[in-house]
Structure 1
Amino acid sequence: MTTEQVERWLEGYRDAWETRNPDAAAALFTQDALYREQPYEEPYRGRDGVHAYWSRVTATQSDIRFRYGRAVVSGSHAAVEWWVTLRNDGAEATLAGEFFLVFDADGLVRELREYWHFSPGLLEPPAGWGQ
């Protein structure tokens, strides 16, 4: 994978999240993908699992703004910071996190691991974030 290919995938992810589109989100993953939203829980499996997760988790979200930093790419693996502000059931919230991604030869993700933190309110990233 190149940095440009990873950024194209991230743009698709941003689009899917900001428009709350589970079909678009699922299309970014392989048929047998593993989506690990929490490290101690079973992953969501395949496009159907991603679709079901996204349908549920984005249902109460609005005013979503997704940003990402510079991706670090090595072969088929990438890591990238992300920052999201949104409203969840009307309450302002900020999520700051990181993706670890494994891509297939077609540029689809076959494994996603994410780690994130939640804060109430709409917060801006600190200076130097995403570099």
Structure 2
Amino acid sequence: MDVRDAARRWADAWAQGWPARDVARIVDLQAEDGDHWASMFRPHRGRAGLRAYVAECFGEETRPAEVWFGEPRVDGDTATIEYWAITYPYDEPVTISGCTLVRFDADGLVTEARDYSHSKEGRHLPPTTLFP
């Protein structure tokens, strides 16, 4: 398994799945017992936990999100992927910028994802230097 390819596949799943609210597209890349830390205080355990988290988030969004993902940076079995998103929970724009550290197993499935992000009310486009 090539970690860079797995990371690009993960980023593409989120980039395509988030605006389409395609929960399965995102969850299918999670190892059955993999953890997703959307917050360091609230881990989502396994595929079921990630599925519930993503479905909850998508359920609050009243318009398709606008998303951008950067090129993965790889070290061993782990990649860091920067992202920027404009979401519309309850029809009000919220901009999120962050990065996710993603660890993969030998099959290219996510065993651990730790998300670090900041959010700001309003619609703020990403700097073109980050996502040309």
Over residues 81-122 of structure 1, what are the superposed CA-to-partner deviations in whole Å (9 max), with x where a residue is unaligned? Answer: 100012110001110011000001111111000011111111
1:44 maps to 44
Looking at structure 1, the residues matched to 104 and 126 of structure 2 have their Cα atoms a distance apart, in angstroms, of 27
**How many Å separate the matches in 1 of 2:53 and 2:6?**
25
> Per-residue displacement from partner, 1:69-89 (whole Å, max 9, x unpaired)?
121111210001100012110
8 Å CA contact 1:93–1:122 kept in 2: the answer is yes
Does structure 1 residue 13 correspond to structure 2 residue 14?
Answer: yes
Distance 2:90 2:107 in 1: 37
CA RMSD of aligned residues (A): 1.6
Count of residue pairs the alignment pairs up: 130
Number of the residue aligned with 1:80: 81
Q: C-alpha deviations, 1:24-82, integer Å up to 9, x for none? A: 221110000111011123x1111111111111111021221111112111121000110
Partner of 2:54: 54
Structure 1 residues 9 and 32: CA distance shift in structure 2, 3 A: same
Q: Which amino acid aligns with 1:30?
A: A
- Identical columns (%): 27
Q: Which residue number in structure 2 is paired with residue 109 of structure 1? A: 110
**1:119 aligned residue:** 120
Contact kept, 8 Å, 1:13 with 1:28, in 2: the verdict is no
Unmatched tracts of structure 2, length 5 or more: none
Runs of at least 4 residues of structure 1 off by over 3 A? none
Which residue identity is paired with 2:45?
A: R
Amino acid across the alignment from 1:101: V
Unaligned runs of at least 5 residues, structure 1: none
Structure 1 residues 35 and 85 mapped into 2: Cα distance closer, same or farther (>3 Å)? same
Amino acid at match of 1:56: E
Matches of 1:80 and 1:48, distance apart in 2: 23
